[in-house]
Structure 1
Amino acid sequence: MSENRARHMFPGGNTSLGFFSYYDYILPQEQANRIYVIKGGPGTGKSRFMKKIAHEMLSRGYRVEFMHCSSDSDSLDAILIQDLKVAMMDGTAPHVIDPKHPGVVDEILNFGAFWNEEGIKKHKNEIFEDSREISRLFSRAYGYLGAAHGIYQQSASIYARALDRGKLNRLILGLEKELFAGTESTGEPGRERSLFASAITPEGYVNYLDSLLNLGTVYQIRGDMGSGEEEILVRLRNRALTCGYDVEGFYCALNPRKLEHLIIPGLDAAITTSNTYHHCNTGATRTIDMMDLMDPGLLKRHQSELEENRTVFDGVMSVALGSIRQAKENHDRLEKYYIPYMDFKAMDACCQEILHCLTEKGSEQ
């Protein structure tokens, strides 16, 4: 595996099921040395704080995961310092997090201690109004994302009929033979870590695949909207787990139950899917085209329907993205009611204290 100390991903997403969180997989409680939970408000410097910690620890040689916000991909919702088993998370809505084992694992960082409450109260009416509008816009976006998923399912049903399942099964068996050749089961079940490599954001479709697929073996599966590549990933994941390998599963930004990318660290291997909405520039060891497994005659008969589905899908997604973009504009305005009343110098002092604690943890290892 090549050196890759900085990895980027999303712990939650704007999906057809609403806001969907995989926060519990950032760092499971039983594996953690410390989880810092930040409580604060918009514009109170949570992301800025985490970025300072993350970049400083990265500069010291630690492996760091940057967990981005799906409602603003330039902001962070969490960081993980892998070598220290220390995480820091934004614990405010919509991803409300409360300490599960306070004092043992969890520690609250109260950013309310750094603000001037009287100054913020002057904008009470504006804060309430913008907060309501943000909720309305996200509700609208999620409705359209749900509609987009329904259209996606229409195309998926056509591809399911066109798919030659014999060819698919032979392909999967061949991939299993290649990936697991010479390996033996550990006798213990593997564990899956679930997250998102991509997200539906105000900036459009954003993915961080290039930071995740720096591995010795990368199989890239090319497909179309709903062309069935998930079955390959699920079969390979299940085989890896049965053999005792831990895996990282990265799920679809639209349908958070659908496996889209799979990493098996113990095999230095990844299986990724590529389509119009997400692709990566990492060189693939092998490329598989799902269209090679399809009945071309059936697809030709339904070509106009598939094209219409794509056109309608893109239109519905455009409306959803527009609503998410508007929600961010309102959120940016909301931040302006807090920023002037924050004591960022005191916050920076807190940041230095935590860095000192992390340095001590590092020296203990």
Structure 2
Amino acid sequence: MSKKGHIYRLFPGGNTSIGFYSYYNYVIDLKKAKRVYLIKGGPGVGKSQLMKNVGKVLVDKGYDAEFHHCSADPDSIDAVVFPQLQIALIDGTAPHVIDPKYPGAVDEIINLGEFWDENALKQNREEIIKSIDENGKIYKRVYSYLGAAKLVKDDVERIYKEVLLSSRLNNEFKRFKEEYFTDIKGTKKDSIQRHLFGSAYTHKGHINYGNTYLSYGNKTFFIKGSSLLIKSDLLNELSYHYIEKGYDITFYHHPLIPDKIESIVIPELDTAITTLIDVSDNKIINTDDYFNRELLLSYKDQTDESNSIFNMLMEIVYENLKRTKINHDFIESFYVPNIYFDKVDMLREKLLEKILGS
């Protein structure tokens, strides 16, 4: 391969209104995978850096790579997948504990815990336990405030639903589907669906990497509008057409309400449809155009109040996620000086040899 591979940046898990929510089972299809390396070990042992380094080498050699980012810290990697090789490296530690499903045949455990000075870590036992437990308490606070934010969002969504001119929206959406789906032929296979997060609530705010996984040029379409639920419903309706025709589809879910959708991607058609802003100018529809403006205006004080409270709650979420990051860095400070990173580097080289020789 002569040119570099493409890096897709994704989120397999998220901080949501119902707690930490995982789509890690969709990182790679274990029945199709050639090899999955489950990386175990505590904070600061180099799991993320190991995956990043392996990923960089293979991307430089021309292989595409999916970098699955951590919702707690988007600078950290929880998994890296090489679709052309059907190989993945996955962090198998909490909160996304993963155990081998097909030991030896597909899965292989890599234990970086073998490369730390256990006696030195025991000397900081009390501080480590206290800090890890404290992070658990902070995350409970995060999820409580996300739950409250969802309730406030529900209040606004109730108003959007009431003022929606459903028949007008449905007619316009029907016109688009008739125009767009006419030339899409069916396949002779069953559709396979994959689920991930399209964005994440992190200590750096609400982050998405849509510009990496929605990179389909003129075949990226945009649904605009204020209502999360209305846009998600339209994406759901569009997805049925692709599924019926047998196309594989990836659903990218919303971090506040994980069963709602931000984007869908149909790789076989080089097509993506998203609700994320600043990704595409190919607007399908603006759902706000189908609101009863006079009725919506009568609710302005209520929607303004609810949106203000929602933003306030989210600021508290981000501040607490910053606390988890500071606390995590403190925990890592006990581990990093006591890790034999030269041995981790040697393991990385052996791992690369195995992957490239597979």
Please give the range of the TM-score, normalised by the shorter of the 2 chains: over 0.9
Given that 2:176 and 2:284 are in contact with CA atoms closer than 8 Å, whether structure 1 keeps it comes out as no
Point out the more displaced range, 21-30 or 160-169. Answer: 160-169
After TM superposition, the score normalised by the length of structure 2 is 0.96
Partners of 1:230 and 1:44 in 2: how far apart?
39
Q: Does the Cα contact within 8 Å between 1:153 and 1:226 map onto a contact in 2?
A: no
1:306 match: 303
> Cα deviation per residue 1:63-116 (whole Å; 9 max; x = unaligned)?
100000000000000000111000111100011010000001100000011111
SS of corresponding position for 1:44: coil
Aligned match of 1:333: 330
Runs ≥4 residues deviating over 4 A: none
Letter in 2 for 1:204: G
User: 1:256 pairs with 251, 255, 258, which one?
Assistant: 258
Distance in structure 2 (CA, Å) of the matches to 1:179 and 1:9: 28
Q: 1:200 to 1:228 in 2, by over 3 A?
A: same
Structure 1 residue runs without a partner (length 5+):
none
| Conserved 8 A contact 1:4-1:211 | no
Contact residue 36 and residue 109 of structure 1 kept, 8 A: yes
Partner of 1:13: 14
Structural mapping, 1:137-286, within 5 Å: 137-215=138-216, 216-226=218-228, 228-274=230-276, 279-280=277-278, 282-286=279-283
Q: 1:94 to 1:161 in 2, by over 3 A?
A: same
Q: Is the 8 A contact 1:192 1:249 kept in 2?
A: yes
Distance between the aligned counterparts of 2:229 and 2:260, measured in 1?
Answer: 12
Give SS of 1:354's match.
helix
| CA distance in 1 between partners of 2:285 and 2:30 (Å) | 38
8 A Cα contact 2:223 2:231, kept in partner = yes
Matched, 1:315 2:317: no
Call closer, same or farther: CA 1:173–1:266 in 2, change over 3 Å: farther
Does the aligned pair in 1 maintain the 2:67–2:79 contact within 8 Å?
yes
Shift in Å, 1:344: 0.6
Structure 1's 31 and 172: CA in aligned 2 closer, same or farther, altered over 3 A?
farther
Secondary structure in structure 2 of the residue aligned to 1:245: coil
Kept after mapping to 2: 8 A contact 1:152/1:225: no
**Distance (Å, rounded) in 1 between the aligned partners of 2:32 and 2:165:** 43
Contact 2:17 / 2:144 at 8 angstroms: preserved in 1?
A: yes
Q: Distance in 2 between matches of 1:284 and 1:244?
A: 28
Query: Which moved further from structure 2: 102-111 or 3-12?
Result: 3-12
**How many percent of aligned residue pairs carry the same amino acid?**
36
Distance in 2 (alpha carbons) for counterparts of 1:188 and 1:360: 32
Decide whether the 8 Å contact of 1:227 with 1:290 is kept in 2. no
Is the aligned partner of 1:124 residue 2:121?
A: no
| Counterpart position of 1:352 | 349
1:102-136 per-position Cα deviation (integer Å, ceiling 9, x unaligned): 00110000001111100111110000100111000
Q: Which amino acid aligns with 2:110?
A: L
Moved more, 201-210 or 176-185: 176-185
Moved more, 168-177 or 49-58: 168-177
- What is the alpha-carbon distance in structure 2 between the residues aligned to residue 236 and residue 199 of structure 1? 24
Distance 1:232 1:287 in 2: 11
- Report deviation, 1:225: 4.4
Contact 2:115 2:341 in 1 (8 A): yes
Equivalent in the alignment of 2:32: 31
The structure-2 alpha-carbon separation of the partners of 1:292 and 1:328, relative to structure 1 and needing over 3 Å to count, comes to same
Count of residues in correspondence between the two structures = 354
> In the aligned structure 2, how far is the partner of 1:170 from the partner of 1:53?
50
**Shift of residue 170, structure 1, vs aligned partner:** 2.0
1: CA distance, partners of 2:116 / 2:87: 26
1:43, 1:339 within 8 Å by CA — same for their partners in 2?
A: yes
